[in-house]
Chains A and B, each alone.
Chain A
């Protein structure tokens, strides 16, 4: 079956620091990969996505590259802001699982001024 393994948190950084959150996956099919963000008390929002190998998803300064050879989709941002404090979920979807998404456990990011 499908699974997503995400770097354990929580992660605490100072403003303008570099962020990396690791994510690896296993999938029976050829999945699309996603990063979702959840702010306190809210649902999930799509942050970025990649649908095929070597694609780079990017949004709001965040980026992640679909690496099929290492089955990874690490999230990076060069300079975090306090407003980036949230929970980040790595996820995948493919055509074999009736539309269900598979999520990692989530990583809580706190950015201090």
Chain B
């Protein structure tokens, strides 16, 4: 089956520093990947759509200068949280779908990254 790997699983950083989270599709190509944020006991909030070879599309209210997305290849998207602050602490999840799959099929999710900013 299609596997999405996210790294790191957890990270602790100091306020003001930047943190990079990687999302890789291990056995398929994905022109499009999605980044979500999940607060405790809450649903997934779509942050942005990552597009290989072009700029990411951000959802309303998401600061694109704060959350930098780079889709460097058909198997890798990165989310960089810049100048992190404690309110950025959250669980970040990526998802992707193989390019050959129709858009109305299931998505495959990474295992998530727990970010704690101290």
Contact = CB atoms under 8 A, between A and B. Distances in A.
Contact of B46 (A32, A41, A46, A100): A100
B27 interface: no
B111 A98 contact: no
Contacts of A101: 34, 95, 107
A106 B105 CA distance: 20
B6 A34 contact: no
Contacts of A103: 43-44
* Interface size class of chain A, counting residues whose CB lies under 8 Å from the partner chain: 20 to 34
Interface stretch (B13-21, B62-70, B74-82, B96-104): B96-104
A100 B110 CA distance: 16
B74 to A, nearest CB: 15
B114 interface: yes
Given A100-B34, A100-B46, A103-B43, A51 B104 contact: yes
Contacts of A29: 104
A83 B37 CA distance: 25
Given A93-B104, A94-B104, A101-B95, A43 B6 contact: yes
Interface of A: 29, 31-32, 34, 36, 41-46, 49, 51, 89, 93-95, 97-101, 103-106, 108
